[in-house]
Structure 1
């Protein structure tokens, strides 16, 4: 493979370094959407680049040549990927795919375990669970639900409870679970994207905070609701929250309360554009790598 495939594999590293800087210039909703889109592109770049190196590197091995009956000399002259690099790429590709499958399976298992909550009596989309542990989270699916425990309802006055419910409904309305899954799957595919996953998760909560503050018509009320709820729940209880749902108190509560005490953030795309452009440019070799891979498969008589 030419140098283009290595540039393609550079995309996740560039995103990991530059992506978090978008939070300085964009509102939370824009940060989440932009980082999620770039994460999808970087994940595709990782998978496609590793696939190209795997085919190029393993195509000249004896075991592969016995199956395809092509010319290893012709392949070596066209695509001089070392066999060792092909083996390494194959291992990384297999590991990434297995981790991605594991993340999706675990999330699905958690949601299946919470399915009985959908059958409980509701008030609209609200499910109240009798429990002595303060908790609240959004449960996605065909019948989305906001789940709140009686302990959480007792911990907050009515106006702050309304903020909490608005926060969780914002998760459901804007399908925040999709963005969270993309971030997790991208990080599973390429560990370099873990900081990006964490920024997506945090700004999902910031997005819902801003929606709740706007619904309540008071940023100070939204900040008080979040702070009071945080005081009501212990660290041990927080660790028992189901990890496949978006809970009110999961990510950096202190930072979120501080953000709500400031003015509502706005997006400045002109300042963010250089970061987006530089990250996107690393994915330009997609077409060239695809062409190289097609030629390589043709030499191997696979197409």
Structure 2
């Protein structure tokens, strides 16, 4: 068993370094699929600031996905600090790929692949050829990429039972990782592929609008005032997402060009820079089939 563990650790580091060469930021994982390094703040008092507020600024290892790196020297240091690691995680949402993981689970009574096909038929999109990782239980991870100016949130079962999404702040178990349940491997014929761009229709499903500040107020789609108010109500951390959603709705309703200036002004009012706001509106235009 000791020999097998040593081999698993050596292979995990080798696979992690290979992933980093492709621009994928990685962290070491234990056999439980959890980050191998525990938080350095686990025994710290919660005051004056909670330990969870630190995302690695302290300089220590143990911050989960925030430790992820593409630097070979740092990756070796991470694995040296966790000699029990037998796998690696790939951070999602980071440049240059801005990875989005579609996790198709195989829980009892759940056909997540059929659910994804039904979603694709209903919303008129197809999943392009892309990297597919097969899990020990027979599930699949589809690797897609997203726009650099949008943060796709993590979700579990929101799209359909058995379909989980790994986005910003999440990670995927990398192929070659060994866990308590077996080894993750790349599906035949997909290892040489680059992660494909997320279809626009699917991307819109992955970016649900945050709850409106006034849920009883119906948007005035005729003049777009509701969409503008929706953007104005954004708080820090949801400004880009709200602007993108509102711009998509505007273009879908045929009022996109007329709302560019009002949406831009609303976005600037929330604290976005003009460059960020224009890029987000342009992304919405492209993803809805319009010229920015």
Q: Do they fold alike, i.e. is TM over 0.5?
A: no
Larger helix proportion of the pair? 1
Task: Compare CA radii of gyration and give the structure with the larger one.
Answer: 1
- TM-score normalised by structure 1 residue count: 0.21
Q: Which has the higher contact order (CA 8 A, sep 6+)?
A: 1
- TM-score normalised by structure 2 residue count: 0.22
